[in-house]
Structure 1
């Protein structure tokens, strides 16, 4: 299974990432702004970092390729959340 974590640099997302890496064999797509300077990849075979904004629908759509489930760790911007939902609906 491939899981996408939106807002991957957040405190809760980091805990979710660690839990998935230690308790499953699932692959992760870690998505968010400036991630390469904010998170450390522990298993490059299972983790892919994609730096992007939630409002960038084209980048979100590319990042969703092969993803089975997504976790969103940000609710501070209703517009960004709407952009994610719309992109996911278009992706189906």
Structure 2
């Protein structure tokens, strides 16, 4: 049994991972989010909800007591500030394992027509801020895994493959259920993919853009 802190627990992927963790493991989950009233706890015996702001190092550090693994499902224009706060809080408390959700394209690793389309869609503040946040994580001394999903779908399928930093990104899309499944696997096997930045896509989804565009 592990104690898992989920930052940004109201996010769609985070809620899918939460349900899977409750269903398949005996881990205790601490759910950290702004405006905690938005979240309904499924199992009060295994879940603790904390209302907090990920840019507030003090609040994040307080939530880290007794935690083994941090899963950060954060977003927004201030994602770099959130990354700095999370790293500082984890260093302060001495928690090392971090699973960090980012996005495809932060290394300009998406090839071809899809890469051009991805830049057109995400340049101008999104890719730049997520790339800056990833640098904060990579320059830390944490045992991190960065996850770079393809464009996200709500398909009821779990099917994915990964690429490493420095390799061309594959595919155009991936389901949120697939990303949640990868997160759960990393929580259950925390020594895997440490120091890696993983691109994640559904196989055989190559093209100029995702199928839903």
Q: TM-score range by the shorter chain?
A: over 0.9
TM-score by length of 1: 0.94
TM superposition shift of 1:75: 3.9
Structure 2 equivalent of residue 39 of structure 1? 39
- Find the residue that maps to 1:58 and give its secondary structure: helix
Q: Equivalent residues in 2 for 1:48-87 (5 A)?
A: 48-76=48-76, 77-87=79-89
Gaps of 5+ in 2: 95-213
Deviations 1:9-52 (A, max 9, x none): 0000000100000000110000010122x111010010000000
Q: Where in structure 1 do 4 or more consecutive aligned residues deviate above 6 Å?
A: none
In structure 1, the gaps of 5 or more residues are: none
Structure (1 or 2) with the larger CA radius of gyration: 2
Relative contact order, higher structure (CA 8 A, sep 6+): 1
Aligned length: 91
Please state which structure has a larger fraction of its residues in helix: 1
